[in-house]
């Protein structure tokens, strides 16, 4: 089966506009994330999926420079955009990512993907997000093209169209949904970027780790935070937007 990671990206973030192309040491957050995702051993293709709005043209230009595949679709109907991306590139298995996770660990991705592949077709949706134990920013969701197509054909609420997977989870039912968990609860860590405070936090960590260890793991991030516990306070009060 062809496993395709789709990164949904846009410039029009309400709390931190243009966040995906904000730079740390001359490299955009999206570039950090793409670089890390491409080290996954389980994906066959990576596609950045964005909207047709002119505002999102810089995302396409960056991906062209990085020689990363792209697709453009509806801004609001993200579910439809995911389906059209899969149709265009002929994916069998979808790995859904959001473009606000510059610390994403390819080993965590591969753990979730492997669990899905090892248990398909018994499970049709596997993630590490349903009951959080990994830091927020390690989010990985995996599901089949077939259930994505079913959602595209049947979902119609604005919430389901925007968030892609809630309808899939409801549709396949609890018996077809599986969770990959970490052995320690690290869910209190916030490593995603949605506010200026989040950007300040990830900038400090990238400044510390990337120059000497560009292939750092999420365990390396934990080590940095153990040595600099005050950094955790930078974005501790940020409330995650409802999904």
Which tens digit of pLDDT belongs to each residue from 129-171?
A: 999 999 999 999 999 999 999 999 999 999 999 999 999 999 9
Strands (E), the chain: 3-8, 23-24, 27-28, 45-51, 69-73, 93-98, 125-127, 141-144, 177-179
Range of the domain at 59: 3-192
Residue 236, domain member (yes or no): no
Work out the average pLDDT over 187-193.
96
Work out the average pLDDT over 116-127.
97
Structure tokens belonging to residue 111: 């753990």
- pLDDT over 70 for what percent of the chain? 99
Task: Output the furthest CA–CA distance in the chain (Å, rounded).
Answer: 50
Residue 224, domain member (yes or no): no
Chain CA centroid to CA 119, Å: 22
Categorize the per-residue pLDDT at 239 as very low, low, confident or very high, splitting at 50, 70 and 90.
confident
Residue 227, domain member (yes or no): no
Residue 90, domain member (yes or no): yes
Residue 200, domain member (yes or no): no
Work out the average pLDDT over 220-237.
96
pLDDT reported for residue 13: 86
Residue 234, domain member (yes or no): no
For the cut 80, the answer to whether the pLDDT of residue 240 exceeds it is: no
Categorize the per-residue pLDDT at 243 as very low, low, confident or very high, splitting at 50, 70 and 90.
low
Residue 20, domain member (yes or no): yes
The per-type count for the chain, helices as H runs and strands as E runs, is: 9, 9
Q: What is the pLDDT of residues 34-61, one digit of tens each?
A: 999 999 999 999 999 999 999 999 999 9
pLDDT reported for residue 137: 97
Nearest of 100, 28, 16 to residue 63 by alpha carbon: 28
Residue 223, domain member (yes or no): no
| Rounded Cα gap, residues 11 and 23, in angstroms | 14
pLDDT reported for residue 14: 85
For the domain that residue 35 is a member of, what is the CATH number?
A: 3.90.550.10
3-state class (DSSP) for residue 174: helix
Please, where are the H alpha helices in 67-195? 78-89, 106-119, 145-154, 158-163, 165-172
The tally of domains found in the chain comes to 1
């Amino acid at each position: 089966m062809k496993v395709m990671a789709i990164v949904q990206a846009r410039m029009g973030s309400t709390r931190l506009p243009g966040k995906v192309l904000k730079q740390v040491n001359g490299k955009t957050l999206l570039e950090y994330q793409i670089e890390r995702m491409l080290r996954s051993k389980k994906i066959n293709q990576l596609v950045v999926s964005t909207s047709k709005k002119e505002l999102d043209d810089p995302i396409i230009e960056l991906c062209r420079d990085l020689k990363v595949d792209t697709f453009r679709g509806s801004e609001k109907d993200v579910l439809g955009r995911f389906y059209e991306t899969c149709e265009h590139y002929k994916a069998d298995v979808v790995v859904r990512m959001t473009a606000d996770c510059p610390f994403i660990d390819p080993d965590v991705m591969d753990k979730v993907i492997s669990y899905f592949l090892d248990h398909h077709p018994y499970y049709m949706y596997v993630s590490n997000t349903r009951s959080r134990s990994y830091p927020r920013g390690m989010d990985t969701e995996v599901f089949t093209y077939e259930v994505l197509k079913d959602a595209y054909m049947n979902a119609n609420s604005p919430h389901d169209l925007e968030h892609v997977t809630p309808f899939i989870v409801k549709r396949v039912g609890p018996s077809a949904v599986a969770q990959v968990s970490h052995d320690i609860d690290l869910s209190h860590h916030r490593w995603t970027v949605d506010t200026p405070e989040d950007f300040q936090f990830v900038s400090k960590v990238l400044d510390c780790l990337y120059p000497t260890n560009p292939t750092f793991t999420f365990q390396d991030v934990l080590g940095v935070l153990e040595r600099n516990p005050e950094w955790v306070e930078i974005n501790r009060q940020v409330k995650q937007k409802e999904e």
